[in-house]
Amino acid sequence: MPVPVPRQRAIPAVESGQALAAAQGGPLKEEAHRSATAGGANAAPLTLLLIEDDPAGSPIVPELVDASGKPIRVRTARNLTEAERLLTDDVHCILLDLALPAPGRPAGEDADELAVLRHVLRLAPRHAVLALTASGDAERGAEAVRVGAQDYLFRDELDGRLLSRAIRYAVERKRSDTAERRLAEGKLRAQENRRLERGLLPTPLLDGAALRFAARYRPGRSRALLGGDFYDAVRTPDGTVHAMIGDVCGHGPDEAALGVELRIAWRALTLAGLCGDELLGTLQQVLEHERADDEIFATLCTVDIAPDGRRAGLCLAGHPSPLIARPGRAPKLLPYDNNGPALGLLPGARWPRMQVELGREWSLMLYTDGLIEGRVGTDGERLGQDGMVDMIRRQLAEGLRGEDLLRAAVSEVRDLNGGELTDDVAVVLLDRTG
């Protein structure tokens, strides 16, 4: 009996695994490795679900074996109702008789000759499917592959060796296609995430300012674009540089969205001329209107730096005080005695604006509490503001500045914590070199 040649080139396990391993690391690389070893000695036996009107009379040889010589288990279903019941997670491949009638229609009355295949593909989107057809119906078999089957076989030309090989190849082709699709989806998702992040994180408006700006942002939620932390900086027409950093309590997408809303509102209000207590009072109204729960609040720190760069106004709404570093002096925290309440806690609250002398040359660091609340050591002690000041002092002494300083600070806090930080971290650095 002639042995038919498979209608599509199957992708051997080792070949598909090598291609994916070269293309991608991480989970997809692991998946490719599993595909490459699926037929090995340690792999679970393959299971075939045969869907045919009369399985007992089928010419299929029952002694099917996989690449390692293990027997391929065969389950039989006479119709799609039985097939759905037998289609459990341990089924690897489906061998479908295309002559079966589609659900609800007797054989020969269905205008769509592949309706039964389409139904099975919807029923089992993660399974490999082999189409079984008559030897004189190659066109129908080829159309089945175009619709979504991994291959087609002729019913009267089957033998155990051919079917065993076709099952193995169909399973590997399905695994390879799935891995490639996930890789493509992952690349597309990464591109969309980058576009979203560019749109949601601010672009400081500091044209004409004699200051250098740097920022570092790290959301606490796994795979999140943004957390509840937010920051911004703008220069108004009178030459004043305004900067702020804030933190919405919580770490979910609702808190991240609220942080973006508060940042946008702060920028609009600042460019409209609001400052200090009036600005924070209006932001509290925005928060109260937009928050999903009355218990949601946000801390905020704002600074407005005079056009000559030597002094600034500081407002704190339940937020940690900024750190200032000057040449020849140890870094220290700016005054925080007049710290007002967080936004959203007290109706009608006030936020005093403090005057701060900066000097001719300085670095001003605004940060959220994610930078100071990481653990240090094995006793669970937190880094705290004092520990942060000591860390920045040492890193400045090592010559770190700007982006390098922020990168080193966040990295060291993470290392001290013994792993990823659970809270969001945002840090802003403004430098004036005189």
Task: Give the pLDDT confidence score for residue 411 in this predicted structure.
Answer: 95
Burial of 378 (0-12, 13-18, 19+ CB in 10 A): exposed
- Cβ–Cβ < 8 Å for 414, 406: no
pLDDT of residue 86: 92
Q: What is the mean pLDDT of residues 372-388?
A: 89
Lowest-confidence region among 44-58, 292-306, 329-343, 410-424: 44-58
pLDDT tier, 226 (very low <50, low <70, confident <90, very high otherwise): confident
Tell me the CB-side half-sphere exposure of residue 282, using CA atoms within 13 A. 16
Give mean pLDDT, residues 45-53: 88
What pLDDT does 160 receive? Answer: 79
Residue 389, pLDDT score? 97
Structure-block tokens of residue 353: 């604006």
- Given pLDDT bands bounded at 50, 70 and 90, which one contains residue 224? low
> Exposed, middle or buried by CB within 10 Å (0-12, 13-18, 19+), for 65?
middle
Report the pLDDT averaged over residues 192-215.
81
> Per mean pLDDT, which range of 19-23, 51-55, 102-106, 311-315 is the poorest?
19-23
Residue 111, pLDDT score: 61
Beta partners for residue 48, in sequence order: 74, 93
Average pLDDT, integer, range 411-425: 90
pLDDT per position as a tens digit, 160-173: 788 888 988 988 98
Residue-wise pLDDT tens digits, 262-299: 999 999 999 999 999 999 999 999 999 999 999 999 99
**319/336 Cα distance (integer angstroms):** 9
d(CA 213, CA 308) in angstroms, rounded, equals 17
Sheet of 73-77: strands edge to edge?
Answer: 73-77, 47-51, 93-97, 128-133, 151-154
Average per-residue pLDDT in the chain?
A: 84
pLDDT at 421 over 80: yes
| Of 140, 143, 96, residue with least CA distance to 122 | 96
User: pLDDT tens digits for 340-378?
Assistant: 999 999 998 999 999 999 999 999 999 999 999 999 877
pLDDT surpasses 80 at 429: yes
What pLDDT does 341 receive?
A: 97
State how far Cα 63 lies from the chain centre. 46
Pick the residue with more confidence: 297 or 336? 297
* Pairing of β 212-218 and β 229-235: unpaired
pLDDT at 227: 81
Element holding 416 (H helix, E strand): helix 402-417
Residue 26 falls in which region: left (phi positive, over 0), alpha (psi -120 to 50) or beta: left
Task: Kindly list the distances between the CA atom of residue 384 and the CA atoms of 250, 259, 387, in Å, as whole numbers in the listed order.
Answer: 20, 24, 5
